[in-house]
Structure 1
């Protein structure tokens, strides 16, 4: 024997965008539902009258006496109670009552929802989770919201709210729960049977319960969710309305580009719909055909997508820095978005190293992008990748933003040269970045100095400055905080086996490359470096980064 058909009643709560709310009322009404409408008393009267005029052709609508509704206060519960009483008194054939708002959009025909309720005639669909076990509340106050008094609005009087909570904690004030009531929490968008809802509204202890929940924080998420446990014989602790919240406890707003995901969810109702999502209002409710009319709601895919979006909002994309998201130091979701390579000392030994390396690796090979006079992008354009300027003043204004933007611009690896002559502001940033591959030949900067035409006193001063900078740099590179892939060779170690080290560097940048090169790059002459370093020692500077080079005279000096 088939159970009698269900008749749906809708408690419709609204306070703004009444032109959209009127369209939702018409959808519910035309689907055969009885509707009781409560409009917030704070909504301008002219807007209220326009809504009544627009819906004046629907003769059996019930307009509930208006009251002010404040978020987090008992006024929300009172509006729901008043609407439920009007609905049950006026429509004696209503078997189930659902709570909806002006931003709740039916995704499936209303008759599919009533058929579903017919098949689940004695089931109360209400999210009802013990306050001791709930894990989604934001800002704490799971059980404490029932044990303290909350006379002030959290949104409008935040300081008074916090002051009264802290004062009650200090005074150890604990309210006594009404006998038999076990605190539960859940979504306010429930669907109850007439029997259960009537039992809650007509409970002989209702005045006691109302007085208790009047002082509870956000009672609309606790009143029916707790009292239903006293009267229901069968509870499905879930809502028939798809509703998700972000990490700040705010409802996740749905837009037109969510249409396909909403359709796949097969949920009956979704909130919170943006008032400008005209494509959603035009598409839904959507009839998927008789073969799909009995589908069970499946919000999992939608909830996963929303959870991923919330996580992305909290964590951000790796290496993304912008005005709307600038994370604190060391709290980034990845300092940079992709691997990159920093090579120091190679261009000092090989003047044409950049051109030699370019065809042998998979990536964009730049010069000294942190050079003091110019940002040396590959090919030396005035405007670099992604319209990054080559002017050092722009780069130096925000070096981190410059580097992270350069790496995000392309899906190719970014490779650039470094030197003690360059800007040093990014040293800590790069060595603590797991995406960085850093290869350094220490003391290589002495080779260009040896071949320069500067007076030796100037050479000595430059050598002293560069050595001091590189020593500070090496202190950072050898700290316990290093997360980059760092390899360091002294100049003498590199000079002893340049081919093997060059081969290793190329393979580190582009794994699997073979053969690495057909011929080595042209190297500056370092035959005289031992004598040059001795001259620096004789001038009072102790070279500390080049390794061991013999200080013997060259053959040319002996011939002289």
Structure 2
């Protein structure tokens, strides 16, 4: 075999032993490093499993390996040094972990490396040239010192970084060093690895990298640039990362994707992925001389990341729900909000449903409870009409309402008498199509027949609530499509206004506008509003509704032209 394997083992010892035996049975010499955090008795039991392979499976000096710390580099160096010492004829050294599983026959990887003698497969890029750093430090990982553990001593870690920034600390790089970063999992030629391990600057380099953050992603990646004759800046181990920079865990249902990639090795494999480990035991999935092509499955992982980060419009999941602004659209589909129409017209809901083809609810945020279509107490998605349940989280009630009826267009009534928890939400929602007849709240007050003196305080409250709502609709942050008429403006041309709002909410409707329903009786309404003014409450949102109905206009005489005779 032309290459040997260094394997770093931390957990899942049963699977790690299975992988080590597979490499060894395939003819590869293997050096195993076991985390020094493992208890001696457990380590002894694990090591004893390979007594029958003592000539081929070796165990190196142990180091304590902590995420982001120097221990992983020290472990890798110990393993590589022992492998090269005991097997000096190797052409390459392959670094893997106990969770890395060969996908193809080991003989294919051996042939691949034999055809590329002296080539180093290691991801190595200048930190300023790649956007790989997620939620952490970029160039500062090389210019600051990191003596504290990011996981165990987070408070000290953050405070010490802040102190160094405030003091303007900037570490001096060892002479000739140009920092690079990349995947921890590499396959280096024996010549390059020997040169790195015997670098004359090694004491200074080790002192420097001991205080670099996550040195296992930069130590070999930087030093390979100094000693390699030919670098292929890629890893032969397929490892996919999510949007938070954490490695994806592969399960059995990923096996067809893994095969399609034609990669030699994949990590991280779930310890209970029986089908993936069974394929390894059977010798792997042969691909002949095919070049590893992890890009073939990049689209699948990109779509998965997009789904996790953005999700589907109007559908919420645990990872995004607590973070305002992380949603991919507040609601799932366009919907209509009608304000004041049901107060003016008798039977407006059924008429609008027939005219638009939409599902038309009543006041779903009414104080008595949600008025679902046809008066149902429970609507799709087990949405209850109970106001206590609805108002516990009115925003989610609205998004659920639209999500559960997203196959069609939904419309609901809204007004100043309703719960206002979603006032700003619908204003900022691009899916909302809102039609407002301001001041229409005065019509039910007028129809109640109560004296103005008893109604003026309630009228003032409703007007104040509606004014705040209109301010939201007219805000520069509003994204809804909004049409606003004062009551006076609407009453001048009601059919034209109805046609416009119908076109907004049901843009695909064809044919003539159905005959609108009858307006509620408004005789004496102008005098009612004037009496409000007389008692100190000015209903300015209604517009200028005259106290007395205007006299019918006399048709103007038709002009005529006198032509001279001649």
Question: Of residues 300, 310, 320 in structure 2, which corresponds to 1:305?
Answer: 300
Q: Is the 8 A contact 1:531 1:553 kept in 2?
A: no
Q: Are positions 1:343 and 2:338 aligned together?
A: yes
Q: CA deviation at 1:387?
A: 0.7
Whole-Å separation in 2 of the counterparts to 1:335 and 1:307:
23
**Which of 449, 457, 461 is residue 465 of structure 1 equivalent to?**
461
Q: Which residue of 1 aligns with 2:378?
A: 383
Instruction: Say which of 90, 105, 116 aligns to 2:112.
Output: 116
- What's the counterpart of residue 535 of structure 1? 531
> SS of the residue aligned with 1:25?
helix
Deviation at 1:101, TM superposition (A): 0.5
Shift of 1:192: 0.7
Q: Which residue of 313, 320, 328 corresponds with 1:318? A: 313
| Structure-2 change in CA distance of 1:67 and 1:372 (3 Å) | same
Match of 1:48 in 2: 43
Q: Work out the number of aligned pairs and report it.
A: 549
Assess, with a 3 A threshold, how the Cα gap between structure 1 residues 144 and 471 changes in structure 2: closer, same or farther.
closer
Aligned match of 1:9: 4
Q: Deviations over 1:92-141 (max 9, x none)?
A: 34221111101112222222222221222221000111234343124554
* C-alpha distance in structure 2 between counterparts of 1:220 and 1:553, whole Å: 85
Contact 2:102 2:284 in 1 (8 A): no
Cα contact 1:107–1:286 (8 A) shared by 2: no
Structure-2 separation of matches of 1:342 and 1:285? 62
Q: CA deviation at 1:338?
A: 2.2
Residue 137 in structure 1 maps to residue 133 in structure 2: yes
Residue matched to 1:368: 363
Determine helix, strand or coil for the equivalent of 1:489.
strand
Change (3 A) 1:447 1:212: closer
Residue 203 of structure 2 corresponds to residue 210 of structure 1: no
1:454 and 2:450 equivalent? yes
User: What's the secondary structure of 1:366's corresponding residue?
Assistant: strand
Q: Quick one: which of 11, 15, 31 aligns to 1:36?
A: 31
CA contact (8 A) 1:106 1:285 kept: no
Partners of 1:27 and 1:410 lie apart in 2 by 54
2:389 corresponds to: 394
- 1:300-329 CA-to-partner distances (Å, cap 9, x unmatched) read 243343344344444454334455433444
Instruction: Give the superposition deviation at 1:375.
Output: 0.6
Contact 2:68 2:150 in 1 (8 A): yes
> Mean Cα displacement is larger for which, 504-513 or 273-282?
273-282
SS of 1:295 mapped into structure 2: coil
In structure 2, the residue matched to 1:434 is: 430
2:362 match: secondary structure: coil
Residues 1:354 and 2:349 are matched in the alignment: yes
- The CA distance in 1 between the partners of 2:296 and 2:455, in whole Å, is 67
Q: Greater CA deviation, 224-233 or 460-469?
A: 460-469
Structure 2 residue corresponding to 1:494, chosen from 450, 471, 490: 490
Q: What's the offset of the Cα at 1:367?
A: 0.9
Q: Distance in 2 between matches of 1:460 and 1:140?
A: 60
1:27 is paired with a residue whose SS is: helix
Q: Counterparts of 1:281 and 1:416 in 2: how far apart (Å)?
A: 55
Q: Secondary structure of 1:444's match?
A: coil
Quote the offset at 1:242 in angstroms.
1.3
Matched, 1:519 2:515: yes
Q: Counterparts of 1:327-338 in structure 2 under 5 Å?
A: 327-330=322-325, 332-338=327-333
Q: Which moved more, 1:215-224 or 1:328-337?
A: 328-337
Superposition CA RMSD, Å: 2.6
Matches for 1:141-152 after TM superposition, within 5 Å: 141-152=137-148
CA distance in 2, matches of 1:553, 1:359: 32
Q: TM-score, normalised by structure 1?
A: 0.90
Distance (whole Å) between structure 2 residues aligned to residue 171 and residue 495 of structure 1: 70
Quote the Cα distance in structure 1 between the aligned partners of 2:317 and 2:424: 21
Matching residue of 1:162:
158
Give the match's secondary structure for 2:373: coil
* 1:227 paired to 2:223: yes
Residue 101 of structure 2 corresponds to residue 100 of structure 1: no
- Relative to structure 1, the CA distance from residue 176 to residue 512 in structure 2 (aligned partners, 3 Å threshold; closer, same or farther) is closer
Q: Which runs of 5+ in 2 are unaligned?
A: 552-566
Q: CA deviation at 1:294?
A: 1.6
Distance 2:297 2:105 in 1: 19
**1:410-452 deviations in whole A, cap 9, x for unaligned?**
3233210012111112111211111111101122222223222
State the distance in 2 between where 1:373 and 1:156 align.
53
Is 1:490–1:545's contact at 8 Å kept on the other side of the alignment?
Answer: yes
What is the DSSP-based 3-state SS (H/G/I as helix, E as strand, rest coil) of the residue aligned with 2:205? helix
Per-residue deviation, residues 335-378 of structure 1 (Å, max 9, x unmatched):
22322211011111123111122233343221100000011111
- In the aligned structure 2, how far is the partner of 1:417 from the partner of 1:285? 65
Q: Which runs of 5+ in 1 are unaligned?
A: 1-5, 556-560
